[in-house]
């Protein structure tokens, strides 16, 4: 229970961070945050009964500069929602695939790399999707710079977070 994720919102209701229940409860009890969503029930302590938060909001504003996202394997998988972009199979057993192969001057950019399952990656080999007869489900693109984003696996667990995320609306 204390290791469950909690969405932390800034004073202006923009997502700021993800913390654990224990940290969120401490922030609420000290008066630095308030509970916005209680998706998990209550717990009892010697001093009373408290909500187990799912979403909290800080009572003061934290200013942060938005940094561009680095292109990593995890970022590509999150962008593609852990789904093979050729067959649509969802799972953790994924690899990265260059849409335009590097031997054909394909660049290592957001717009040229997709998540692919191992069988599709082998089947496509060093060919373009048109040559292999394997159309893409979605054209790859660079993610928007929204500052903070929620990893895809958390969105599957916590559907109540979606209304606080500007890029999922």
Class of domain 73-132: mainly alpha
pLDDT at position 4 is: 85
> 46 CB contacts (<8 Å, ≥6 apart)?
none
- 2/164 Cα distance (integer angstroms): 22
- Reported pTM: 0.65
Q: What is the mean pLDDT of the chain?
A: 86
Higher-confidence position of 155 and 73: 73
pLDDT at position 158 is: 75
Per residue in 111-161, pLDDT tens? 999 999 999 999 999 999 999 999 999 999 988 765 566 676 676 677 778
What residue spans define the domains of the chain? 5-66, 73-132
Higher-confidence position of 38 and 158: 38
pLDDT at position 169 is: 40
């Amino acid at each position: 229970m204390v290791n469950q994720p909690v969405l932390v919102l800034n004073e202006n209701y923009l997502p700021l961070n993800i913390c654990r229940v224990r940290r969120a409860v401490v922030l609420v009890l000290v008066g630095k945050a308030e509970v916005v969503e209680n998706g998990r029930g209550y717990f009892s302590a010697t001093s009373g009964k408290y909500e187990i938060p799912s979403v909290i909001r800080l009572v003061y504003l934290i200013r942060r500069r938005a940094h561009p996202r680095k292109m990593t394997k995890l970022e590509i998988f999150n962008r593609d929602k852990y789904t093979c972009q050729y067959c649509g199979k969802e799972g953790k057993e994924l690899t990265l695939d260059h849409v335009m192969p590097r031997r054909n001057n394909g660049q290592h950019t957001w717009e040229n790399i997709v998540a692919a399952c191992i069988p599709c990656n082998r089947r496509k080999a060093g060919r373009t999707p048109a040559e292999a007869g394997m159309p893409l489900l979605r054209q790859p693109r660079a993610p928007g710079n929204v500052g903070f984003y929620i990893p895809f696996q958390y969105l599957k667990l916590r559907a109540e977070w979606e209304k606080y995320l500007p890029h999922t609306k």
